[in-house]
């Protein structure tokens, strides 16, 4: 009965539009009071324990690093590099938006930040050159969703914190899937642009590419330093976040000289505000997860899923459907915290590695960032394009189909996610 009350209150508050942290916190508190076997001090202790974690320190640091890099002029240099790489293709500016998002994903760790940083530059330019507003928003939202797949990734940090999976291995697991998804999105954008008559084909220039590479060398240095250090075992994900902040600050102030001292305090405050939302959700969800464990909800859901099918492949298919639905209606951090315990309990029956499961979950939730009502990437991109959400949704179909096909490859071909992490294991 307590479990039913917990889920019913949570669903009711979601339906009423309550903020995620408030909905999770209130549902947990009511269920806790109904439990009646513990002191309320336990709630405070669980709230504190939920956010008191060394790996979670990487969240505000990566957010701050992304803000510093954007203000320090790295975004524009990344866009120019992407344009020299793929801008000559038919509908090249659409391809540029996706490739730019792939580069920027290696800096921010956030899909919303990725979409906003690149979209703020490219969406107005796409519209000016005759691309449809809805298509421009759909392209940028699709590319921006890679912000949580290509490392560093804040959701991967949270998954590692929740399950004990190696964050370094999770980062490594996201590289090849991110490249696969990015390449397939570029293919779709070029195909649709050619049919719609957007843009025009040009010619590739090796000289322009070399010039763009030289100009963007410091921007490219950020993901190389961060990921190289993590994958090489030089430092942890949290330490890499601190190094990313130092790198962004040094480049913005000392090299590009586009970052102003007076801007830094406001960036620190903004990073703290963005991170506080994530950490508040994590803290309240810690209480929720603890209550779910007491009520054995993960085990019951796992048993129910096993009763549907005992085939690992079929279970993975069902889990993908559930995650796609959850990603549509539940914010990414909350979805991770609510669903990770359930899915990890199924791991022996799925016959896959924990790191691969993490990659599957993250890719599913990244697709959820494109679908209303909580498709944050689509909302951000549509806002920049000044386009009604439904127009962008209408243009999403080919991108969504390709993303689902990529998800199936990631799910059923383990080497794609596990080959690079295997190189980190002794």
Nearest to 111 by CA among 402, 377, 407: 377
Domain membership of residue 1 (yes or no) is: no
For 154-175, what is each residue's pLDDT tens digit?
Answer: 889 889 988 888 888 999 999 9
Domain membership of residue 207 (yes or no) is: yes
Q: Do 143 and 98 contact (CB within 8 A), yes or no?
A: yes
pTM of the complete model: 0.82
Number of independent structural domains in the chain: 1
Domain membership of residue 290 (yes or no) is: no
Residues spanned by the domain of 393:
55-277+297-424
Residues of the chain with confidence (pLDDT) below 50:
none
Domain membership of residue 39 (yes or no) is: no
List, in order, residues 6 or more apart from 399 with CB less than 8 Å away.
138, 139, 142, 185, 188, 189, 370
Domain membership of residue 286 (yes or no) is: no
Domain membership of residue 28 (yes or no) is: no
Please give the pLDDT value at position 66.
77
Domain membership of residue 231 (yes or no) is: yes
Average pLDDT, the chain: 84
Helix crossing, 20-35 with 332-345: angle to 10°? 50
Please give the pLDDT value at position 179.
94
Please give the pLDDT value at position 373.
66
For 39-55, what is each residue's pLDDT tens digit?
Answer: 778 778 878 877 777 77
Please give the pLDDT value at position 2.
62
Please give the pLDDT value at position 410.
95
Domain membership of residue 29 (yes or no) is: no
Q: At 381, list the tokens.
A: 């991109």
């Amino acid at each position: 009965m307590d479990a039913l009350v917990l889920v019913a209150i949570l669903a009711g508050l979601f339906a009423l539009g309550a903020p995620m942290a408030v909905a999770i916190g209130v549902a947990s508190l009511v269920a806790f009071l109904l439990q009646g076997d513990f002191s309320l001090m336990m709630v405070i202790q669980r709230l504190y324990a939920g956010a008191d974690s060394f790996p979670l320190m990487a969240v505000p640091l990566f957010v701050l690093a992304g803000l510093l890099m954007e203000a320090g002029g790295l975004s524009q240099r990344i866009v120019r590099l992407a344009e020299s790489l793929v801008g000559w293709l038919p509908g090249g500016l659409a391809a540029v938006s996706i490739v730019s998002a792939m580069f920027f994903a290696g800096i921010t760790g956030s899909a919303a930040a990725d979409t906003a940083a690149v979209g703020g530059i490219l969406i107005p330019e796409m519209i000016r050159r005759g691309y449809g507003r809805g298509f421009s928003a759909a392209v940028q939202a699709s590319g921006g969703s890679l912000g949580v797949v290509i490392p560093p990734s804040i959701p991967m940090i949270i998954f590692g914190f929740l399950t004990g999976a190696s964050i370094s291995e999770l980062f490594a697991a996201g590289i090849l899937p991110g490249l696969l998804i990015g390449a397939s999105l570029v293919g779709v954008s070029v195909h649709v642009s050619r049919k719609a008559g957007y843009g025009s084909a040009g010619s590739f220039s090796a000289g322009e590419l070399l010039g763009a590479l030289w100009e963007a060398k410091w921007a490219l240095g950020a993901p190389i330093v961060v990921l190289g250090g993590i994958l090489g075992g030089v430092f942890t994900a949290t330490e890499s976040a601190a190094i990313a902040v130092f790198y962004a600050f040094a480049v913005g102030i000392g090299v590009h000289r586009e970052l102003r001292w007076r801007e830094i305090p406001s960036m620190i405050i903004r990073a703290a505000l963005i991170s506080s939302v994530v950490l508040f959700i994590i803290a309240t969800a810690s209480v929720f997860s603890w209550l779910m464990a007491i009520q054995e909800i993960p085990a019951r859901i796992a048993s129910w899923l096993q009763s549907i099918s005992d085939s690992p492949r079929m279970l993975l298919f069902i889990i993908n459907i559930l995650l796609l639905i959850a990603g549509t209606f539940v914010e990414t951090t909350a979805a991770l915290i609510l669903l990770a315990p359930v899915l990890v309990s199924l791991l022996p029956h799925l016959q896959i590695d924990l790191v691969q499961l993490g990659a599957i979950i993250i890719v599913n939730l990244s697709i959820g960032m494109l679908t209303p009502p909580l498709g944050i990437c689509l909302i951000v991109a549509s806002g920049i394009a000044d386009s009604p959400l439904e127009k962008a949704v209408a243009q999403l179909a080919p991108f969504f189909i390709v993303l689902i096909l990529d998800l199936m490859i990631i799910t059923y071909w383990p080497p794609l996610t596990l080959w690079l992490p295997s190189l980190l294991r002794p």
